[in-house]
Amino acid sequence: MDGVLRYHARMTSDVSAALRYRGRFAPSPTGPLHFGSLVAAVGSYLDARTADGEWLLRMEDVDAPRSVPGAADVILRNLESLGFAWEGEVIQQSRRTAHYRAMFERLRRDGSVFACACTRREVADSALGADAASRYPGTCRNGLPPGREARAWRLKVEPGLVCFDDALQGRVCQDLAAEVGDFVVLRADGYFAYQLAVVVDDAEQGVTHVVRGADLLDSTPRQICLQRRLGLAQPDYLHLPAAVNAAGEKLSKQTRARPIAADRPQTALMAALGFLGQQPPADLADARLEDLWRWAIMHWQRSRLPRGRFTPAPPGY
């Protein structure tokens, strides 16, 4: 394993601080690394390395009730056993509340957010957006109803399309006002919402390219909305197809996705490369981990990535 880390260190030792490309992998520590997360890790890692860029690692544990104690350490060990190497310290969102608070206060000072008394049930029973998901109807936008107390804080969303060009999925547009409504940035339980945390983290870490699963594609317009409201740079986006099981469900802890076996990292990496359309030679399954990564970095091609939001995972995953 030390040889793998030294190999990647040599490959990135000449990278200057003024990088054009800075990518990241940001798993949620809700359980061990599974195939869906591995696909995102491999895709983001190879896209960064082929661009002579940096690859950062961040634990998105802002949603403390969902985080599993010890899961972050397990994921780090999983990544190390698979031969990943990252730059800098591993950022944990649970330790960055002050940063999110500062950005939230900026939004509050300029009138971009408002207090909301609505419960989840009340929102769920309201109007539906274009994708049949619950859409916030603006109940508290102009003030709390009489006798109600604030629970959460929402960002005021203005009518009009938010569009961006995804490097794989193409042009994506969403009318946030019609499809989502004013969305939460500070939750009723006191935790800052993922949408705000990820925007602040990407900006402060200087992330220039976000490569992640297409299950997060619909979240991107909300993040772009926040970036624009806060005057933050917008990264380039590439949303890889998300791996789904035989029932068409996204691989996750909730759908009982199998953890990646650490004893044969080459097998898992070969499966991830195949899923991403990179067509690794079969004999690499028995190669040294360093050689497998060397081939993957040299042969990474975005043009081979499968299009679409969801793709079945290979058998066994």
Domain-located, residue 91: yes
CATH number at residue 32: 3.40.50.620
C-alpha distance from residue 74 to each of 28, 71, 272 (Å)? 12, 5, 19
Domain-located, residue 302: yes
pLDDT at 200: 98
What is the CB neighbour count within 10 angstroms for residue 213?
A: 21
Encode pLDDT of 278-309 as tens digits. Answer: 999 999 999 999 999 999 999 999 999 999 99
Torsion of CA 50, 52, 56, 57, to 10 degrees: 30
In this prediction, residue 73 has a pLDDT band, given cuts at 50, 70 and 90, of very high
pLDDT at 283: 93
Q: What is the largest CA-CA distance in the chain?
A: 70
pLDDT at 255: 78
Domain-located, residue 209: no
**Total domains in the fold of the chain:** 1
> Of these residues, 99, 148, 253, 294, which one is catalytic?
253
Domain-located, residue 299: yes
The domain containing residue 246 runs over which residues? 2-95+242-312
Task: Tell me which of 3 and 100 has the higher pLDDT.
Answer: 100
Is pLDDT at 238 greater than 50 in this prediction?
Answer: yes
Average pLDDT over residues 183-199: 96
Is pLDDT at 203 greater than 90 in this prediction?
Answer: yes
d(CA 145, CA 149): 8
Calculate the average pLDDT of the chain.
Answer: 90
Encode pLDDT of 105-142 as tens digits. Answer: 999 999 999 999 998 888 887 665 554 567 899 999 99
pLDDT at 5: 39
Encode pLDDT of 26-42 as tens digits. Answer: 999 998 899 999 999 99
pLDDT at 23: 98
Domain-located, residue 15: yes
Average pLDDT over residues 47-66: 95
pLDDT at 133: 64
Domain-located, residue 33: yes
Domain-located, residue 220: no
Encode pLDDT of 136-179 as tens digits. Answer: 999 999 999 888 888 999 999 999 999 999 999 999 999 999 99
pLDDT at 249: 87
Predicted model pTM: 0.90
Domain-located, residue 127: no
pLDDT at 53: 97
Respond yes or no: is residue 253 known to be catalytic. yes
